[in-house]
Each structure stands twice: as C-alpha cells, then as structure tokens.
Amino acid sequence: MSETYRKPLTEQLVSVALLLAVIGSGLFMIEAGFSDTWAILTGDAAGVSAEIINTFGGDISTFDRIAVFLMVITLGTGLGVLTVSRDNPEIVNQVYTWFPVIGLLVGMFEFSDMAMDMIDRSYDFSVNSESTNALNIAVFGWIVAGVVNAFRAWRN
C-alpha cells in the first residue's frame, strides 16, 4: 500500500493564505482595471476613479501603492507569469520570494484593524465596496502567510 504525502499544517496554511491573496488581488484588478491600477502605481491620483480612491479611504498613501504593487506581484506569481529565475536580476527574485512577508508588514502597519475584524469575525463584507473587500482579502492572505512563514522560520 503506497503512502500519500501530506503537507505539514503550516504549508497548508500558507497555501490557503496565498490562495486568498491571489483571489483578492484578482478581484481587485478586475474592479480597478488596468488604468486605475497603473495610475495608482505611478502616483497619478487624478487618473484614479472615485470608487477606487474611496477603497483607500479617500486618499492613496504610500502603503496603498505598495499594496497594489504587491497585488500585481501576487496575481502574477499566482498565475505563473512571474517566477523566480536565474535569468532575473537577484532583487527581482528576492521580491518574488519575500512578497508575503512584505505584505505582512504592510498589513500590520496599514490594515491591522481590518485583519483583527476578520479574525474575530466582525468584518462585514456587506458594508464595503467590492474593491475594498478584494483589497482586504488579499491583505489578510498576506498577513496569514507572513505570520505562518515567520513562525516556521523561527521554529527551524
């Protein structure tokens, strides 16, 4: 009888968390569209629709721009378009490798209240826009993946 390989619980948690991040990132990109996403990344607040600006509380901060950058990376790596490769510059491979931890830091500094609301189940999806919910799902995925990865690194 052959044995099946079971991933350790921490690997499963990271996989599910990153799946949440990919789903949230994809939904945000669908809601925002290419033009709003590009305008956020380039700092062109005038080129961003009012709905997407409201997603970020009425003003797009540096942390919000980093979050959108991470969503692009999350979606790209999740779809297999962006990968770690020896052909890439080392800094690009580092970003691809460490984006969940960077997302954890962004989540802790900018979105910690939302994360706690999701943890204690008081987050209400019905009062937020689709783009806000998508952003928050992606950030929560990064936070969980980052915490679990940090715990795994600490244990080893």
Runs of H (alpha helix) within 43-61 = 50-55
pLDDT, greater one: 74 or 155 = 74
Cα angle: 111, vertex 117, 120; to 5 degrees: 140
**CB-CB neighbours of 61 under 10 Å:** 11
pLDDT at 4: 61
Give the whole-angstrom CA distance, residue 51 versus residue 129. Answer: 8
Give the whole-angstrom CA distance, residue 26 versus residue 31. Answer: 9
Instruction: Match 């795994």 to its residue by tokens.
Output: 152
pLDDT at 54: 93
pLDDT at 149: 85
Is the confidence at residue 21, as pLDDT, over 70?
A: yes
Rg (CA), the chain: 16
- The residues spanned by each domain of the chain are 9-155
Q: How many CA atoms lie within 13 Å of 125's alpha carbon, on the beta-carbon side?
A: 10
Per residue in 35-84, pLDDT (tens digit) is: 999 999 999 989 999 999 999 999 999 999 999 999 999 999 999 898 88
Is the confidence at residue 3, as pLDDT, over 70?
A: no
Total residues belonging to the chain: 156
